[in-house]
Structure 1
């Protein structure tokens, strides 16, 4: 009897435990279900409120756009689909050229080249911007230099998205297109550039010209005085080498506007490449009956080298006597200045096509150098593809931008190469012969 009672008590205890456990599980499941229902209600209320706010903003934005944008038929299109319905379907060739500074064909070529770096995956929260729209946003900024807020309203994206598009595209251009459009020239390109310099400017045996480009910036947070250029305004200084075809062969950006151009040149890869004969064919060409590597032309602030020609300094009085330049020296100066003016026209075309380089650039100093490089590469690409250039762009820049600073001629120094004067004398002899 005692064993049966013991078994009954054990069975009763087990049944009681199982009933209590079942009740606890049911209570927990009930609580979790109520919590999930409340969470879903809050989530749905949040999205309903957000959707309502966005709808009201779109309605208000559509009203403002109908009031303000009545100058052209396509400006009345709602901002959310302006890119898809207008640009992609209704833009004419002149619209593509005016707004993006390149033809439609070049635009899509650029998108295909940049796709490996700019393509993004959709997420569960939002759809990724197409590569074409990302490139269009960035090109609009480079071409017009308008505020991010204006571009944000136009394309229906956030200001931070515009900033990210500009930054990403400039980095992608430098990473993916430099090897194609900004590289050391081949021997055939060197010979072609020498012929073009000779035919267009009359200066022989020259393959490129070195000059400076100042890009206006906002006041930096530190070392602002270093960025004041000789003209008195703040800028980032770039050194560029321009070929006879009007393409950029080498670009050194990111220097403060107050930096001495001669220091930039002497510490650049271009200096070492040219000094070692990298900008001349393996077989040294003949000039005036002598073997002479191709030369580069430079402004008066650069040191004289056997491969870098600059103008003779203006006459100065010595011991009460005024020393005049000889006729061959004057002819040389005129020929060199004529060739340098041709390169100034190339820089003007660059700044006119990409007006972020002609107007004050309000991007951070970590972005401006990459933007300058990207614009030079885009210039080469557009020129190579034969895209048109509108004269009104150039007229607009000439009337609006700060003039580029000039530099005083540098006095002969230890950086002038021994024997360089003899090379410059050969060019004087050439111009003397051409004048007779």
Structure 2
């Protein structure tokens, strides 16, 4: 507290002297006045500047040992489909290493996004699963999803020949119809009152 009061009284004096002294003497005076502050608040050296993580699960287990069954169960696609998807997204998502950072491999970035889409996990467990940071997980997820929408959406979801499609539906009795959306039949175990449950697949 006494040191702070000393500095409060010294600063107005230094401002007054600044009007009548050269720049070299002023700098020396400022350094002498600031030296006690540096002694009271020394630099804190951190043991690390980023958290070390491990990606052994992805590098050694998934990429080297998994077959199609774990891929289907966890990523909802075959391994060959995954690599085909990565090849399609390479023109947009490919990055180069810099002098300070090594980029995350494109396959790992796509896998992070697919894992987030295929599971109800938040960013934190996905980040821990792949050995990356939570903020990096969110950024990679948005980049991959944006790339998929810009490159692949028009190649997968589109109308081939609208007039021919409408003619086909008209022959079935559906006039002015250009498409149909269907659901998925999921079997469930009904309760004791079966009248409350309607089997849509067999009622049509």
What TM-score do the two structures reach when normalised by structure 1? Answer: 0.30
- Equivalenced residue count is 144
CA distance in 1, matches of 2:83, 2:69: 16
The equivalent residue for 2:76 is 101
**Of 110, 118, 124, which residue of structure 2 is paired with 1:135?**
110
The equivalent residue for 1:153 is 128
Deviation at 1:80, TM superposition (A): 2.8
The equivalent residue for 1:67 is none
Deviation at 1:295, TM superposition (A): 7.2
What TM-score do the two structures reach when normalised by structure 2? Answer: 0.60
The equivalent residue for 1:122 is 97
Change (3 A) 1:86 1:395: farther
Q: Which has the higher contact order (CA 8 A, sep 6+)?
A: 1
Runs of 4+ aligned structure 1 residues displaced above 6 Å come to none
Pair 1:307 & 2:176 matched: yes
Do the aligned partners of 1:96 and 1:104 also contact (CA within 8 Å) in 2? yes
RMSD: 3.3
The equivalent residue for 1:344 is 183
The equivalent residue for 1:179 is 154
Deviation at 1:293, TM superposition (A): 7.3
The equivalent residue for 2:164 is 281
**Which runs of no fewer than 5 residues in structure 1 stay unpaired?**
1-44, 59-78, 187-278, 297-305, 310-339, 349-393, 397-436
Change (3 A) 1:185 1:295: farther
1:7-406 equivalences in 2 (<5 Å): 49-50=47-48, 54=51, 79-186=54-161, 279-281=162-164, 285=167, 306-308=175-177, 343-345=182-184
Q: Normalized per residue, which structure has more helix? A: 2
Q: Normalized per residue, which structure has more strand? A: 1
Deviation at 1:125, TM superposition (A): 1.9
SS in 1 for 2:103: coil
CA distance in 1, matches of 2:59, 2:155: 31
Deviation at 1:88, TM superposition (A): 0.4
The equivalent residue for 2:192 is none
